[in-house]
Structure 1
């Protein structure tokens, strides 16, 4: 059972990575695929901590940081949508 769940979490991470590479035109899709990768990593972390009998304090810190990352990404997305009018990643001029 452990190997199945571990395989599922690794597959979820790589599916998020594949989605991140394929859907790089829209900023929202990039943020969603990064959140999917974070969920895969969290599930993997949870499996390892429960398998070895450790406490779950680090997983709570990991979730806190991932929520902060998601809120920051959503805030950047909203500000870019207001200033540029779309979420196409190539329409943002980063170098000016």
Structure 2
């Protein structure tokens, strides 16, 4: 029971960091990965009772794909604009 409260606290602190650091793309990506890891811990704690670990592997695979996509967008932004501040990025070009 304590593990679920700890995982929920990790998720909410990651969400709070994501909201606070909305102007800097790298910090947003780091907080998203923190949220994904906390969700993985919550899923792992809940599925540990049933010994169903296959869903955990699917979740980890999807989270790796999400992180690779975020890093590729970050590299694209830095190559085009020179920084990773969201306010300097104009989507109207």
> TM > 0.5 between the two?
yes
Tell me how far 1:55 sits from its aligned partner: 1.3
**Secondary structure of the structure 1 residue equivalent to 2:68:** helix
State which of 27, 32, 35 in structure 1 corresponds to 2:33: 35
Which contiguous aligned blocks of 4+ residues in structure 1 show a shift greater than 4 angstroms? none
Q: Gapped runs of 5+ residues in structure 1?
A: none
Distance 1:94 1:15 in 2: 30
Structure-1-length-normalised TM-score: 0.93
1:9-56 deviation per Cα after TM superposition (whole angstroms, max 9, x unaligned)? 1111111100000001100000000000000100000000012x1310
Specify which of 54, 57, 63 is matched with residue 57 of structure 1.
54
Question: Which residue does the alignment assign to 2:13?
Answer: 15
CA distance in 1: counterparts of 2:74 and 2:24, whole angstroms: 10
Offset at residue 4 of structure 1 (A): 1.2
| Structure-1 separation of matches of 2:2 and 2:78 | 41
After TM superposition, the score normalised by the length of structure 2 is 0.96
Q: CA deviation at 1:95?
A: 3.0
